[in-house]
Amino acid sequence: MKISARNLLKGKVEEVKEGVVTANIKLKIEIPGEITATITKEAVQELGLKAGDEAIAIIKSSEVMIAKK
């Protein structure tokens, strides 16, 4: 996967909480320890995210996105 963002933190999905439109993804990382991102339910479904998956938090100045290899 190639991406222009340079702030990447690899971790493991600990929890997926789906709401009506968005979902909160709790990502366990080594340092600083944990990141929570709010992404759309559509993105959760397209990525097939579930607890225990390896994932990467891609940090942009205004938001945190989630990627899965």
pTM: 0.58
Sorted by where each starts, the structural domains of the chain and their CATH numbers stand as 8-62 (2.40.50.100)
Would you give per-residue pLDDT tens digits along the chain (69 residues)?
677 666 778 889 999 999 999 999 998 887 767 778 889 999 999 999 999 999 988 876 677 778 888
Cβ within 8 Å of residue 12, ≥6 positions away: 27, 28, 52, 53, 54, 55
Structure confidence at residue 52 (pLDDT): 93
